[in-house]
Amino acid sequence: MSDPSVILKEHSEQTEIILQGELELESAEQLKSALVHALDLAQPIQINVASVEDCHISSLQLLASLMKHRTSSSPLCQLEGDSEAFLRAVNLSGLGHILYGEQNEASDSVTPIASATNGESDG
Amino acid sequence: MGKIQDTYKEEAEELLTDLEDAFLELENDPRSEELINRIFRAMHTIKGSGAMAGFDNIAAFTHEFETAFDRVRKGELSVTQELIEIGLASQSWIAEMLDSNDQQTALLKEQADELTVRLLQLMPDSAEKPNTEQGKQMAPEVAAEEHDEQIFRIRFKPNEDFFNFGSKPLALLRCLEEMGEYNVVAYTDALPSLESLHPLTSYLSWDVLLKTQKSRDDILDVFIFDEDDCELHVDVIDHGDEQEDDYKRIGEILVERGDISADELENLLPKAPKVGEILEAAGAVAKEKITSALVEQEVVKTDRQQKQKAVENIRVPAPKLEMQMNLVGELVIALASLNRIAASHADTQLINACEEMNHLITELRDNVLSIRMMQIGSTFSRFRRVVRDLAKDQGKNIELFTHGAETELDKTVIDQLGDPLVHLIRNSIDHGIEPPEERAEKGKPAEGKIILSAQHTQGQVVIKIEDNGRGIDPTKIRSKAIDKGVIEPDADISDKDALQLIFAPGFSTAEKITNISGRGVGMDVVKRTIEDLRGTIELDSIVNKGTTITLKLPLTLAIIEGLLTRVGDDVIAIPLSIIKECVEIRSKDLSKTKQGYSTKIRGTLMPCVSLREWAEISADKPDLVELIIVSVDNESFAFIVDEIIDQQQIVIKNLGAVYRSIDSISGATILGDGSVALIIDAFQILKRHLKSSGGDAAQNVA
């Protein structure tokens, strides 16, 4: 039996979600459950993506939804230990500014248009 | 096999047909740049899409041919007979590879190596070994035609169910990224909160700005399997030849992208002078550049409108059309029921509403039928290769002529027509057309002809296969039939009837069995297939002049206009397409002789067939009867019925296997009250009538 691609770990002060291996479409259901459960625990969420080998967009859009819809009362959410495959997926998808924040985009050569167009002349 | 692979196979089959046609045309016109480009493009797409769909063997194999034809395009390699032979063999190889299993794949790989070596021998300065690794790595963009660098805007919005088909947006974006300088912005507006988000639904969309030397077609190739499942716009926004400072303004870009309308923009900037005016007044941008931008906007707009038109064609799976046809059929039956109820209630409003429904459903039916209509040319084009290859194998010179390729037939009919036609054409090549020396002895031109034609007549499609070969000798057929016990030695049958014996099971006149035909298992199967399609097959032949085989097929197998008639208590449907007129006469005006019934219509003697006697109905004859005058196979005759009930659309239902042998009934239909009416096969009834009456015309319809 292969290792699960989504692992939820409840620590005393934070909740850790470990994503690993190939995050296929089927993994998105597990990831959603894990994220919803983690939110219910109302403590900081650390999502470790260091061992991601491939990532379907369905998982990225779940993470993007989590980050996009967070409010001041939401638990702190943070991505940790980026793998090359995960960063590549993030940069291809153009979701870096949502997953990592506007000022802290995924470190890769791809430049999101959003930042490139800032400061253009109007008209 | 996944959806992508299925789609690839469909696309590849179309491309292979085009490729085969192009090679055959190239044989006659080896300098045609248009044909060479067509072959290159087909090879390129087969290769590129093959790599994306996981058909690595095909991608690797096709790569060498694409390279060869690229060299032909550049004038570095000549089109020779050997190149065309290899090309056609490659086309066949790809077709086989698409349908091969693991066991066959090993054998095909050997064939591929042989073909590649033959190809490389034509290119002396090329590498000696097939470069299969290079081909394996081919993505659609590799080896594509390089253009000047352009900037494209690719707006890609997957449908919500995009993931369900196994499609992966990131794989598509990765392909784009590999094509050049890639910038992307994701649109997350549609992304709901985590609680409401369905993990298997696609919510994101993207704008990709791609600076690349690839063409728009190369970009579209990336989406070849997904274009039906997403919104996709690919536009050139910069051709790469503008001045450095000649970029579009934000407002222009937003308007151009459709994010805001020009009117909205104008309304939001009511008092401000136009940007162009400010820039012009400040001397920042020359008036010509503003004019140029306006022209560009117009060109892009026109271009988009044209592209919009281009995507109006959509690919629909055949089962959906089948379902649509079945539903229309059920609707027609339900309408018949409604009409009957309306008539019984004598409610004018209800009757009017039913009439309106009738018009609409007729329109819907015609529309659905027209969607199912396909040109027979796609089937005809298969035969050019068959004729070429078989003629070559047998050392014969044969040219195939086709007429009426644009003739349309129901898809179901066309699908089932291919194999019988192949068999008939193979027979013409094998048995009909003589070898050149034999033709020379007979004073015939060395080149034999096969003419394949199609045309619409009287609600039918008539397909003819004619050859100018040695013809069929009825005496020989008769003798063979006696030897085989198909007919009695003392049977008195006409030459015409003798020729039809060729369709008897197990009958073969070939003196030697070849791998093409002559096994005697084909013509009876051909006849049965045509008859299953509610068609007929006839053979005419003149010794040393040639043979003509005529197939008559209905336009559709689904719904027809029919005339419902009553005989006794039974309802019988007659296809409206064969009816010329209806005349009411008194029963006593009918004459009966040993040849059957007849009467005079406007001074002309009209042979009549009593459907009462045909159906063995014993009810009393009415004083007044209706004559339904029909035209079948250029013969006019009348069916005698008791009464005309109505004209209506009838949904043809096949009879069960038990009744299939009744050749004078072509099917049945369900009436509005749920009862069943038989649909007569007028041709078969006429044939039977003429035979039983001993009429001379029987010779023409036997």
Mean pLDDT value across residues B273-284: 70
Residue B72 CA to residue B233 CA, distance in Å, equals 33
The yes or no reply on domain B376-554 and CATH 3.30.565.10 is: yes
Q: Tell me: pLDDT of B225 over 50.
A: yes
Give the model's pLDDT for residue A120.
34
- Shortest Cα distance from B184 to chain A (angstroms)? 5
Give the model's pLDDT for residue B143.
40
Residue B124 CA to residue B11 CA, distance in Å, equals 33
Between B693 and A51, the higher pLDDT residue: A51
- Shortest Cα distance from A101 to chain B (angstroms)? 14
- B205 membership: H or E segment, kind and range: strand B205-212
Q: How much is the mean pLDDT over chain A?
A: 80
Chain A, nearest residue to B182 by Cα: A110
Q: Are B686 and B596 in contact (CB under 8 A)?
A: no
Between B292 and B618, the higher pLDDT residue: B618
Interface test with B, best of A17, A65, A120 (most B CBs within 10 A): A65
User: CA dihedral defined by B585, B587, B588, B593, rounded to 10 degrees?
Assistant: 110
Nearest to A58 among B163, B184, B195 (CB): B163
Chain B, nearest residue to A120 by Cα: B250
- Shortest Cα distance from A87 to chain B (angstroms)? 12
Q: Tell me the pLDDT tens digit for each residue of B473-504.
A: 999 888 888 887 778 888 778 888 888 888 87
Q: In 10 A of CB B198, how many CB atoms?
A: 13
Give the model's pLDDT for residue A34.
94
Instruction: Go through chain B and tell me how many residues it has.
Output: 702
- Shortest Cα distance from B265 to chain A (angstroms)? 9
Give the model's pLDDT for residue B273.
63
Give the model's pLDDT for residue A109.
35
Give the DSSP letter string of B553-610: EES-SSEEEEEEEEETTEEEEEEGGGEEEEEEEEGGG-EEETTEEEEEETTEEEEEEE
The number of helices, as runs of H, and strands, as runs of E, in chain A is 5, 4
Q: Where are the domains of chain B?
A: 3-136, 150-310, 318-374, 376-554, 559-701
Q: Are B499 and B474 in contact (CB under 8 A)?
A: yes
Classify residue B431 by its DSSP letter.
Answer: I
Residue B498 CA to residue B579 CA, distance in Å, equals 31
The reply to whether B559-701 shares the fold of B376-554 is no
At residue B491, the 3 state secondary structure works out as coil
Q: B199 contacts in A (CB within 8 Å)? A: 28-29, 31-32, 58, 62
**How distant is the alpha carbon of residue B189 from its chain centre?**
43
Q: Tell me the pLDDT tens digit for each residue of B365-390.
A: 888 888 888 888 878 877 888 888 88
Interface test with A, best of B197, B205, B222, B257 (most A CBs within 10 A): B197
CB contact under 8 A, B251 and A122: yes
Catalytic positions of B, written as ranges: 44, 66, 427
Can you give the C-alpha Rg of chain A in angstroms?
Answer: 15
Give the model's pLDDT for residue B141.
38
Whole-Å CA distances, B644 to B75, B565, B625? 72, 4, 9
Q: Tell me the pLDDT tens digit for each residue of B162-182.
A: 988 778 899 899 889 988 888
- Name the range with the highest mean pLDDT among B130-144, B246-260, B309-323, B645-659: B645-659
Mean pLDDT value across residues B170-195: 89
CB contact under 8 A, A57 and B204: yes
Residue B157 CA to residue B169 CA, distance in Å, equals 10
Give the model's pLDDT for residue B240.
52
Domains of chain A: 6-116 (3.30.750.24)
CB contact under 8 A, B204 and A68: no
Give the model's pLDDT for residue B485.
78
Give the model's pLDDT for residue B13.
85
Q: Tell me: pLDDT of B641 over 90.
A: yes
Q: Tell me the pLDDT tens digit for each residue of A66-121.
A: 998 888 778 888 898 888 999 999 999 999 888 887 544 444 433 333 333 233 33
Between A40 and B67, the higher pLDDT residue: A40
Q: Tell me: pLDDT of A61 over 90.
A: yes
Q: Tell me: pLDDT of A57 over 60.
A: yes
pLDDT band at B290 (very low <50, low <70, confident <90, very high): low
Could you tell me the two tokens for B130? 């097939």
pLDDT band at B699 (very low <50, low <70, confident <90, very high): very low
Pick the range with the lowest mean pLDDT from A54-63, A99-108, B39-48.
A99-108
In this complex, how many residue pairs, one in chain A and one in chain B, have their CB atoms less than 8 Å apart? 103
Strands B150-158 and B205-212: antiparallel
Q: A91 contacts in B (CB within 8 Å)? A: 184
User: What distance, in Å, lies between the first and last C-alpha atoms of chain A?
Assistant: 59
Q: Tell me: pLDDT of B250 over 80.
A: no
Residue numbers of A between 40 and 99 with CB closer than 8 Å to B: 55-58, 61-62, 64-66, 68-69, 89, 91-95, 98
CB contact under 8 A, B195 and A36: yes
Tell me the residue ranges of DSSP E strands in B430-524.
448-457, 460-467
Q: Tell me: pLDDT of B142 over 70.
A: no
Q: Tell me: pLDDT of B125 over 70.
A: no
**Which ipTM did the prediction report?**
0.85
CATH of B559-701, one of 3.30.1490.20, 2.40.50.180, 2.40.50.140, 3.40.50.1000: 2.40.50.180
Whole-Å CA distances, B222 to A76, B156, B168? 39, 12, 12
At residue B409, the 3 state secondary structure works out as strand
Give the model's pLDDT for residue B199.
92
Residue B165 backbone phi and psi in degrees, to 5 = -95, 10
- Shortest Cα distance from B307 to chain A (angstroms)? 25
Give the DSSP letter string of B619-647: SPPPSEEEEEEEEETTEEEEEEESEEEEE
Interface test with B, best of A33, A47, A57 (most B CBs within 10 A): A57
Pick the range with the lowest mean pLDDT from B407-421, B656-670, B671-685.
B656-670
Give the model's pLDDT for residue B285.
64
Q: Are B83 and B68 in contact (CB under 8 A)?
A: yes
Give the model's pLDDT for residue B451.
94
Q: Tell me: pLDDT of B355 over 80.
A: yes
Using alpha carbons, select from A26, A91, A16, A1 the residue that is nearest to residue A50.
A16
Chain A, nearest residue to B162 by Cα: A58
Give the model's pLDDT for residue B121.
82
Q: Tell me: pLDDT of B194 over 80.
A: yes
Q: Tell me: pLDDT of B582 over 80.
A: yes
Q: Are B625 and B640 in contact (CB under 8 A)?
A: yes
Give the DSSP letter string of B283-333: TSS-HHHHHHHHHHHHHHHHHHHHHHHHTT-----HHHHHHHHHHHHHHHH
Give the model's pLDDT for residue B521.
47
Contact of A121 with chain B, judged by CB distance below 8 Å, is answered with yes
Could you tell me the two tokens for B157? 């919005």
Give the model's pLDDT for residue B308.
57
Could you tell me the two tokens for A3? 């290792």
Give the model's pLDDT for residue B406.
85
Cβ-Cβ contacts under 8 Å for B660 (sequence gap 6 or more): B654
Q: Tell me: pLDDT of B301 over 70.
A: no
Between B142 and B409, the higher pLDDT residue: B409
Give the model's pLDDT for residue B434.
92
Q: How much is the mean pLDDT over chain B?
A: 80
The CATH number given to B3-136 is 1.20.120.160
Residue B70 CA to residue B64 CA, distance in Å, equals 10
Mean pLDDT value across residues B288-301: 57
Give the model's pLDDT for residue B287.
58
Q: In 10 A of CB B510, how many CB atoms?
A: 14
- A55 membership: H or E segment, kind and range: strand A45-55
Contact of B614 with chain A, judged by CB distance below 8 Å, is answered with no
Give the model's pLDDT for residue B450.
94
Give the model's pLDDT for residue B515.
40
CB contact under 8 A, B199 and A55: no
Say what percent of chain B tops pLDDT 90: 16
Contact of B374 with chain A, judged by CB distance below 8 Å, is answered with no
